[in-house]
Amino acid sequence: MNKKTSSASFTVLRLERYTRAEQDEILGNVDAPFGVMETGLTWRGKDEHFGIRRGVRLVAHAGLVRLALMIDDTPTEVVGAGGVAVAADVRGCGLARQVVTAALEHARTMSPRHALLFCRPSLEALYRRLGWHGLDGDVVVEQPESRLVVMPLRTMVIPLHNDATWPLGSVRLLSLPV
């Protein structure tokens, strides 16, 4: 039986880097740790990384990257969030909330007005509890060889500033998804 530890004993750190070895430290050495391989998509890495350690072991992570996109014909930027991971033995302790909240606090210091993520249906309720909301329309993302693909996962956004409202219109991410 795994003993749960209160999230109050964990501190979120900004990480200088986030390697595959560190991802394996959290999720184990598995081929498809995020459950998105069935989409057939190529994914983009993150530039900013936040983690939680339990002792020396990394037990949670969230990453960020600035992304260009078009809403109808209007160019804009968002902060892409992704790579959210919590080790199985500490799930249920509020670490996803803690690491995502810290990442979003940093995102608020950047110029984009919204953060965006793509999630599996099984995680949508978690992100809704964290304040994210789903977009109704399709989101088109880029893939290698200049291919454009409709994102098969749920696209969710969260305002980074109190006065930010998501504009209406079709959305095209001008990069690989995160």
Q: Tens digits of per-residue pLDDT, 5-58?
A: 344 568 899 999 998 889 888 988 777 666 677 788 999 999 999 999 998 899
Residue 49 CA: distances (Å) to CA of 70, 82, 85? 25, 10, 12
Q: Is the pLDDT of residue 1 over 70?
A: no
pLDDT at residue 28, rounded to an integer: 85
Q: Indicate the helix (H) or strand (E) that contains 127.
A: helix 124-129
DSSP 107: H
Q: Name the residue type at position 15.
A: L
| pTM attached to this predicted model | 0.89
User: 160 or 21, which is more confident?
Assistant: 160
pLDDT in tens, 83-118: 999 999 999 999 999 999 999 999 999 999 999 999
**Closest by CA position to 65, among listed 19, 108, 115:** 115
d(CA 9, CA 119) in angstroms, rounded, equals: 28
Which phi and psi (to 5°) does residue 101 adopt? -60, -45
What are the φ and ψ backbone dihedral angles of 66, each rounded to 5 degrees?
A: -75, 140
pLDDT of residue 108: 97
29-31-33-39 Cα dihedral, nearest 10 degrees: 170
